[in-house]
Structure 1
Amino acid sequence: MGFFDSLFGRDDRRQWHSFKRKDSDAGEAGRALEELRSSLHNELRTSDGAKRQQQRFCGPVVAMTFNFMVSVGIILGNKLVMGRVGFNFPILLTLIHYACAWILLAIFRTLSLLPVAPPSKSTPFSSLFSLGAVMAFASGLANTSLKHNSSCMHMCSVGFYQMAKIAVTPTIVIVEFILYTRKISFQKVLALLVVSVGVAVATVTDLEFNIFGACIAIAWIIPSATNKILWSNLQQQKNWTALALMWKTTPVTIFFLLALMPWLDPPGALLFKWNAQNATFIFISAFLGFLLQWSGALALGATSATSHVVLGQFKTCVIVLGGYLLFDSDPGIVSICGAIAALGGMSVYTVLNMKEPREKATIEQPPKLPSVKLKNAGEGNKDFS
């Protein structure tokens, strides 16, 4: 040791050992980081793991807030496109939305950002095909009905379209009972009834419509309800994520929109003035359409079809009350009372939804067995539970 002490001082040896410890700590940190990255990659490479990540980062509050904000944006975007730009081809506009969504999803897939889909055996192709077809009718007919039931794009002029939207709520309850024998409590029925009546009073000031637009609105009700139910069921029961389900169903939707376009769109799409400004507004609307589809799918996967409809009606009430409070619009005292009543019904519905999981957890929890004392002459008292 004297030789080493003479060759290296004690301070040098301490410094040498501290360097070794730092290298060891850095190596352990690097290994831990590599293990975390590997586990995260493996988590996203399986459908179960991707579903867990979606549930972790996009719970009900986040998903519904995201969907609410995008919904307001797409309303403004479509008003701009159909009003100022003059693009009066609702099916073609919907087709552009889904085509741009599919291109974005293809980019995600190329960059390995698209979650893995569940095994094909778990979900028959007929279910995915049905969802894609229903989605085309729900989205295309909604835009077509709105165009034909309003001479302008103001909320007060689309009364019949609002009535059709309100009719989606009982349709969902009936279809879910027929397809899945899913029942709804009497308290929820009363809350939904208050919501529907309140929204009707708040928004339906007249029922002026043309025959073609009325037929389109009525035909839209069942596809819209079925679309929401299938999106919610496939995500909650079959472990699908929103993006993976969009990737599988969007090509089918595009095919059916191409088939609907000659029947429902007016002629003259090729003669539209495709300058840089108009194209920019249309593609901004298309990007918002992608966000709307994604956020809607996240909300349906995190909640239910009925809750998603209630969210849409909440947006309508916020627009009515926000216009009155912020922009000095005068919808009338009856409309204001209807919006307030609808918000009250939504609050009750939300409370009932929050109570359900707790009640189920309480019912499923096994009861505690009482402790029993047994007297044993040789060993004394023993406590068994």
Structure 2
Amino acid sequence: MSSFQLGVMGALFLSVASSVSIVICNKALMSNLGFPFATTLTSWHLMVTYCTLHVAQRLNFFEAKSIDMKTVMLFGILNGISIGFLNLSLGFNSIGFYQMTKLAIIPFTVLLETIFLKKQFSKKIKLSLFLLLVGVGIASITDLQLNFVGTILSLLAIITTCVGQILTNTIQKKLNVSSTQLLYHSAPFQAAILFVSGPLVDQLLTNQSVFSYKYSPVVLAFIILSCLIAVSVNFSTFLVIGKTSPVTYQVLGHLKTCLVLAFGYTLLHDPFHERNIIGILIAILGMGLYSHFCTQENKKKHLDLSLPSQVKDKDNSPLLAHEDKESHEPKKLSKGSLA
């Protein structure tokens, strides 16, 4: 258990560190250097991730395991589509409504896991998640402007993202594959669908073509840095979901949001208000309670699993001793009678 907990902590730390780093890098690339092609950039991230994992597999850093091609293909395409819908949602909605879309992923994931996977969430867990959502909402939501197309795109983004993250956890456990193996097999399909659709989506959102953009050496350097960090982001995403759950990954995602807001204020001098501070504190309280309640429930679950075997051992011990004693007594009697 100690090695498993260390692995989980390492995965969580890697996920937070890499995600915050790539957000700061991409913000500098898009806001300061004027490179607005987010979906195309994501396809490059996935292609670099696949190439890196392919080299690692050739060097025997991990063992490639054959997985059902149809499952991996559908899974990869679904994840690619979810990224596209998230970017379209951001393009057709206000920042505030986009943040609401991301907040809705947690309750929708809980709902899907409860209905289809029969997973139970205690009232304490639900309360901590509610506090977390309220805190992140206060800290990050600025305005809410609704439109029909944007609302439909947000709903599609929520559904595809939730299903994709649940499948990430389910496939790893059902097919007994590691996060690295699943990412290695699915990354080409994710990259392919975004490589084809990315320039079209970006042109629709920005009215600019990624092919006519003039790439300066600084822009190229930041793109390369972003792709290298993305390898760690993609790997840690699959690792965290595989070791924990989709809900825990979403909670971690909101921790990243709070950290990005804090780093944006300190490093990039973004505007910051008392509302942001209050929201971040409430979100941190919710995350702390979620972590505490999850730890308690896991300990209780392991205790409940160990009790039946302990009771069985206690019940069997005197029975075995009694049988042993009885089996020896006839031997003693027979020996005495012979004497």
TM-score (norm 2): 0.81
Q: What does the per-residue CA deviation read over 1:171-219, in whole Å, with 9 as the maximum and x for residues that have no partner?
A: 1112223332222122211111111112112211222477655543332
Distance 1:303 1:69 in 2: 18
Pick the aligned partner of 2:302 from 349, 355, 361.
361
Match of 1:43 in 2: none
Shift in alpha-carbon separation, 1:216–1:285, aligned structure 2, 3 A = farther
1:300 and 2:241 are equivalent in the alignment? yes
Counterpart for residue 80 of structure 1: 28
Give the unaligned 5+ runs of structure 1. 1-51, 151-157, 380-385
Which amino acid in the other structure matches residue 285 of structure 1? S
- What residue number does 1:256 align with? 193
Matches within 5 A, 1:252-331: 252-261=189-198, 263-266=200-203, 267-320=208-261, 331=272
2:170 maps to a residue whose letter is N
Partner of residue 135, structure 2: 198
Q: Which of structures 1 and 2 has the larger relative contact order (alpha carbons within 8 angstroms, sep 6+)?
A: 2
Instruction: Name the CA shift for 1:57/1:173 in 2 (closer, same or farther; >3 Å).
Output: closer
1:132 and 2:73 are equivalent in the alignment: no
| Letter of the structure 2 residue corresponding to residue 65 of structure 1 | F
**1:176 matched to 2:104:** no
Distance 2:48 2:5 in 1: 25
For 2:259 and 2:46, the matched residues in 1 are separated by 28
CA distance in 2, matches of 1:323, 1:76: 8
Does the CA-based 8 Å contact 1:196-1:342 persist in structure 2? Answer: yes
For 2:195 and 2:21, how far apart are their aligned partners in 1?
A: 26
Identify which of 169, 179, 191 aligns with 1:242: 179
Instruction: Call closer, same or farther: CA 1:114–1:58 in 2, change over 3 Å.
Output: farther
Change (3 A) 1:193 1:104: same
Cα distance in 1 for residues equivalent to 2:259 and 2:59 = 39
Residues 1:167 and 2:111 are matched in the alignment: no
Q: What's the offset of the Cα at 1:134?
A: 1.7
Cα distance in 1 for residues equivalent to 2:5 and 2:63:
14
Instruction: Specify whether residues 333 and 134 from structure 1 end up closer, same or farther in structure 2 by C-alpha distance, changes over 3 A only.
Output: same
8 Å Cα contact 1:202/1:334 also seen in 2: yes
What amino acid is the match of 2:10?
A: V
2: CA distance, partners of 1:341 / 1:359 = 27
2:44–2:195 CA contact under 8 A, matched in 1: no
Contact 2:105/2:161 (<8 A) preserved = yes
CA distance change for structure 1 residues 80 and 148 in 2, over 3 Å: closer, same or farther? farther
Inter-CA distance 173–252: structure 2 relative to 1 (3 Å threshold):
same
**How many residue pairs get matched?**
314
> Alpha-carbon deviation of 1:339?
2.1
**Partners in 1 of 2:43 and 2:185 — Cα distance?**
16
Unaligned runs of 5+ in 2: 330-339
Q: Distance in 2 between matches of 1:322 and 1:107?
A: 34
The 2-side partners of 1:327 and 1:279 are apart by 21
Deviations 1:343-366 (A, max 9, x none): 112111111111222212221222
Q: Secondary structure at the match of 2:211?
A: helix
Counterpart of 1:131, as a letter, is F
Q: Once the two structures are aligned, what percentage of the paired residues are identical?
A: 27
- Go from structure 1 to structure 2 and tell me whether the alpha carbon gap of 1:278 and 1:318 turns closer, same or farther (over 3 Å shift): closer
CA drift at 1:275: 3.4
Structure with larger Rg: 1
Give the number of the structure whose residues are more often helix, by fraction.
Answer: 2
Determine if contact 1:94/1:140 at 8 Å carries over to the other structure: no
d(CA) in 2 for partners of 1:289 and 1:322? 19
Aligned-partner Cα distance in 1 for 2:43–2:268: 34
